[in-house]
Chains A and B, each alone.
Chain A
Amino acid sequence: MPHWKKSFPVDLAEEGHFSRREFVRFLAMVSAGFTAGIGYLALRKQPLAGAPDSVAAPVGPLRVCPASELAPGNSRLFTYRDDRDRCILVRTRQGTLKAYRQTCTHLGCSVRWDGQRLECPCHHGYFEVDRGFPVQGPPTRPLSALAAVEQDGFIWVIGDLPKPTLSQEKS
Chain B
Amino acid sequence: MIPGPKSQLTTAALVAVILIIVIQLYLFETVLAAVLDGQRSVLPGALAVSAVLSIVVLLIALKLPSLDRHY
Contacts and interface: CB of A to CB of B under 8 A. Distances in A.
Contact of B28 (A20, A24, A27, A34): A34
Interface stretch (A2-10, A59-67, A101-109, A111-119): A101-109
B13 A35 contact: no
Contact of B36 (A28, A34, A108): A108
Interface of B: 10, 13-14, 17-18, 20-21, 24-25, 27-29, 31-33, 35-38, 40, 43-44, 46-47, 50-51, 53-54, 57-58, 60-62, 67-68
Q: How large is the interface on A (under 10, 10 to 19, 20 to 34, 35 or more residues)?
A: 35 or more
| Secondary structure of the B contact surface, majority rule | helix
B29 A42 contact: no
Contacts of A34: 24-25, 27-28, 50, 54
Given A20-B68, A32-B58, 7 more contacts: A24-B61, A34-B24, A38-B28, A38-B46, A38-B50, A41-B31, A41-B35
Interface string A78-118: 00000000000000000000000001111110000000000
